[in-house]
Chains A and B, each alone.
Chain A
Amino acid sequence: MGLLSDPDVGSVKWVRVLKRVHGPVCFLCYVGALVWFVLLGHREFNNETYFSENALLPGLVTNEFNAEQTANQYFNELHSELQTNYEETDEMPVPWLVGMMSHIHLEVYTHNFTLRYPLGKGQVFKGTNVYGILRAPRTSSLEAIVVSVPYRSVGSHQKTTVAGIALMLAFAKFARPQKYWAKDIIFLVTQHDQLGMQAWLEAYHGLHSEAEPFHASLGSFWKPGTPKFTMDSFLPNIPFRGRGKKPLNPGTLKGRSGSIQAAILLEFSSPKIKYVEVKIEGLNGQLPNLDLVNLVHKLCQKSGIHHSFGKSYSWIRGRDSMDDWKNGFWTMFEMMVGQIDGVPDGNHGLFHRFGIEAVTLEGRDEMDPGGKVPRVNTLSRCNFYKLGIALESILRSLNNLLERFHQSYFFYMLASTHRFISIGQYMPSLCLLCVAMLIRALSLWVTTLQQDGDYNDKQTNKTNKKPSKHKLEKAKDSDSEEPGEQETKEVTKVKTPEKKKADINMSVLNIGVNYLLVHLIGYGVMNSPFMMAYYGSVYYMKPPEVSVYFGIISIAVLLIFITPFLPYLLRKGPISYEELSLVNILVLTELATVCLSVAMQNFSLGFAMAVIYTPLALMTSVHVRGSGKARACLQLLKRLVCLLVHPLVVLLVCMVAYSRHLVADESWLATLSRGSDAAMQAIMFSVVDSMLYGNWLFNLSTSILLPIWLIFWQILNIKVNAP
């Protein structure tokens, strides 16, 4: 097999074929990828779920849960407690919870945490979690299962979780005297939704407030005093990320148990729900092990509770395979849309990063936020007895676990409550997209090589016959070598392959510096929100979201104007065709690599990136000066498309579309302003999520996606002389 840098590469047959067909092939790959993706919803392309873990023994035990009365009693008591004492305030009824848990004879502890809001003036929020540990009576506390309910105050815009707390306490009361627990059970009520959960998890795993955020410090491997890279050491006067301190101070726990094997979160506002939605999406699109998801679905079914996942409802079966396909596709699609932003759809999402499998069971009524649910009125209402039985059988099954969940899939998508698509089935669609980009890069590479080879051949054969080309060659060489020397060498002897290679690569330094610079700009943008919020609040008295939003927009606009001139910073002459082609090849490779590696963890995000940016990547080509009016027009069009897929524009378009979806009957102007507001909120949330929880989305889009876009923009905006 010949080397790609072989000088004779142009004459090889596959190269000629590749050059001729790469356009259609790339297009076919793109279309093929989309078709494959749509097909994934079909029965033939996905599988029935099954249990891989033998130890679970799901649903073999007879249910003994008998605390329905107790649950009702707790429910009423907590309800009246909240009505009388906690109507106005955001506080959690800590004394009531502690009292009830101690009454059941659990080991009860409270846990305080503090959040110094990272943006703006640095407000401080405080919160308290309450947890009780049921110790396994006949074994040491080496392992634990968590049952948790996020506390939501009466005034909260979300549904309360009073029934969840009542159910949990009743279950605790039932479980306390049982002698078969092989793992501790931690009953946890958290405040401030995800914040409290994050604080509790960090405290449980011994992450200190002095440490960097989890994602930057490799978690518990960080020890105090370890030298680390911070921007502060270079620019001491500018406030970057709050002086290296984590915004969330998780505090310490007074009581611990063993390593947590699994967690079940309950969100029930009332026992009289219609069905249970099983939520699985975690931080950065991470998912719990498929075994746990199967377990929950199966045991809900066994306990006679209707359950659902997305648009797939247990009580609805498709009429025919076409129907199944449609439902499967939309369920999968909805799951992916939810995964793109990387924000967990419940507190379970924060467990995944600690290697703990977790799901949320959310009780739902006819009034579903996601739209109308078919035939929901025909369902019988649930009660505490059924819920308790489901919880009991889930926990007894988890109690049987011998090792962490590891048998089944971690990377999958669900097409319905009982069908899944494994990583081996969905990856090909993304691979096709990346292959299209790589084929494009390869064809550019061989074209560049061949043009260079042709040119050199011509030059050696008929020297000085084409002075214009010769001059061009000189100009090209001017950086590295003296033109005269070059000329004599070329005239006297036939070039060796190394020499030709040197010709192409001679300007690698310039390209490399430009490439690096653009990425550094991206890194700067990633770190800018803190500064923007700080100066915005100090000089303009604006809330952080406004200053961050407009700061980022202005930076983006500025970059659009500046970056095309960046490559000229370090050089005098014009940029050559080969240089720009090389940049194009590099950026194609980078984009393909980024999409693939992101998709390893969060397929939805990687796939969305690939779908949006592959067309841009495929149509971007180096514009040669003086190549006709039609070409110039085409180039203009390409620039327009490029602007349309700017990350910010994509965000704005998405948000406008989303607002349109939510409120359909509005004027377009109102929708636009609503979308803009939503985009502002989205940016703010992603910045804060990145600082508090280690969500990647903001970091990824500013430090990687933005530079890639900028380089495409550069390629489209620089004109070069014909080779």
Chain B
Amino acid sequence: MDLINRIYCVLFTIATVLSLTYSIEIPEEFQKSNHSNNWAVLVDTSRFWFNYRHVANVLSIYRSVKRLGIPDSQIILMISDDMACNPRNPRPATIFNNAHEQINVYGDDVEVDYRGYEVSVENFVRLLTGRVPPDTPRSKRLLTDEGSNILIYLTGHGGDGFLKFQDSEEITSQELADALEQMWEKRRYNEIFFIIDTCQASSMYEKFYSPNILATASSLVGEDSLSHHVDSAIGVYIIDRYTYYVLEFLENVHPNSKRTMSEFLAVCPKSACLSTVGVRRDLFKRDPDKVPITDFFGSVRPVIITTDPIDILDTPKRKKKPENKTKSPVKREYLPQFPVHLVPNTKTG
């Protein structure tokens, strides 16, 4: 009896201690993300009409990412071929990702940064590592820093240890791993979420050795990633299985949702995908169960919280101008390009 009492006593103390430590921890909702901005690199590496589905894949992801808040300026979209204007397309200037053809994913608000033959291994690696020629416009640069979370999505035709670009060259898994390591050393990212939808996709992330990378692939080595369905009006396979189920999941995610990354990683079971989705967690320090999906798919809004009141100095420059004019007339003057002073809002403000 004594022994049992003692055991109860010990158990009770342990429980108390546990409950105490728990109450000391910051609740999950208050756990802050450690990144300051979000970027996305979305790449379709294959050209030709019969690879319509890859373009549809990448444009669908683009649409979701943009809807969840990453602005166009922080999305690098690389598309190898122009399916919308392909003469074989019976629906000119559109690209659909579903046989119901409800959403044209190639709407007016799509900004393709690298298109056609610009999508090459060299450009892709230069983009990641930031070693671009000096005259490269900002829209074609990955201007990330050590606080950036990057979503990398690749789709195309792959094999064991390589991904084909443009039917003419390939990037090997080692090259990709080295590029990511260089990014880490150059402090170009905080965390990377790497998604790849190709055949034998998992071979691409097996060589990664840089920290803070969470990777998932549509199929394991030796498996093919399959297409989901045919749009018989257009006459092509319209989307790949993995991306189809990813989209189905993402459609129910909104900027404030509390979905976690582990939900995303389990999005396509083998019964649906017909291939095994591969995941690599060992380089990623956090627990995917606790990482909100918006850490990669959403965007951090640049909000600064301050307790000090801010003096907004009222500097009515426009009012000064006529005063100056009356005081000392200037002979030469630039005409205002737009008669801003005539707009009622600015006048009052």
Contact = CB atoms under 8 A, between A and B. Distances in A.
A650 B85 CA distance: 61
B233 A62 contact: yes
B88 A182 contact: yes
Given A61-B233, A61-B235, A400-B235, A55 B49 contact: yes
Given A57-B236, A61-B233, A400-B235, A179 B48 contact: no
Given A136-B87, A180-B87, A396 B235 contact: yes
Interface string A367-406: 0000000000000000000000000000010011010000
A509 interface: no
A181 B236 contact: no
Interface in A38-62: 54-55, 57, 60-62
A352 B237 CA distance: 32
Interface in A63-112: none
Interface in A394-433: 396, 399-400, 402
Contacts of A62: 232-233
Nearest to B88: A182
A319 interface: no
A397 to B, nearest CB: 9
Contacts of A136: 87
B90 interface: yes
B235 A181 contact: no
B10 interface: no
A60 B53 CA distance: 14
B222 interface: no
Contacts of A61: 232-235
Nearest to A140: B87
Number of chain B interface residues as a range: 10 to 19
Contact of A60 (B86, B89, B236): B236
B116 interface: no
B98 to A, nearest CB: 15
Nearest to B235: A61
Nearest to B231: A60
A482 to B, nearest CB: 71
B49 A60 contact: no
Contacts, number: 46
A400 B232 contact: no
Nearest to A136: B87
Contact of B87 (A54, A55, A57, A182): A182
Interface string B279-307: 00000000000000000000000000000
A493 B11 CA distance: 115
B48 A60 contact: no
Contact of B48 (A180, A396, A399, A402): A402
A180 B85 CA distance: 11
Given A60-B236, A61-B232, A182-B86, A55 B48 contact: yes
Interface in A168-197: 178-182
Chain B residues touching A, majority SS: loop
Interface in A340-378: none
A183 to B, nearest CB: 9
B92 interface: yes
Interface in B184-238: 230, 232-237
A139 B87 contact: yes
Which residue among A178, A180, A181 has the maximum number of chain B CB atoms within 10 Å of its CB? A180
B295 to A, nearest CB: 38
A633 to B, nearest CB: 69
B87 A400 contact: no
Given A55-B49, A55-B50, A399 B236 contact: no
A138 interface: yes
A138 B49 contact: no
Contacts of B232: 60-62
Given A57-B236, A61-B235, A179 B49 contact: no
A180 B91 CA distance: 8
Contacts of B88: 180, 182, 399-400
Contacts of B230: 60
Interface in A663-702: none
Contacts of B48: 55, 402
A655 B234 CA distance: 54
Interface in A134-189: 136-139, 178-182
Interface string A201-237: 0000000000000000000000000000000000000
A138 B86 CA distance: 8
A166 B86 CA distance: 31
A400 B49 contact: yes
Nearest to B85: A138
B50 A54 contact: yes
Contacts of B89: 180
Nearest to A393: B235
A402 B230 CA distance: 20
A380 to B, nearest CB: 25
A654 to B, nearest CB: 47
Which residue among B86, B87, B89, B237 has the maximum number of chain A CB atoms within 10 Å of its CB? B87
A181 B89 CA distance: 9
Nearest to A61: B235
Nearest to B47: A402
Given A57-B237, A60-B235, A180-B90, 14 more contacts: A55-B49, A57-B50, A60-B236, A138-B85, A138-B87, A138-B92, A180-B87, A180-B88, A181-B87, A182-B49, A182-B86, A182-B87, A396-B235, A400-B49
7 contacts: A55-B50, A60-B236, A180-B88, A180-B90, A396-B235, A400-B49, A402-B49
Interface of A: 54-55, 57, 60-62, 136-139, 178-182, 396, 399-400, 402
Which 5 A-B pairs have CB atoms at the shortest separation, nearest pair first? A61-B235, A138-B87, A139-B87, A182-B87, A62-B232
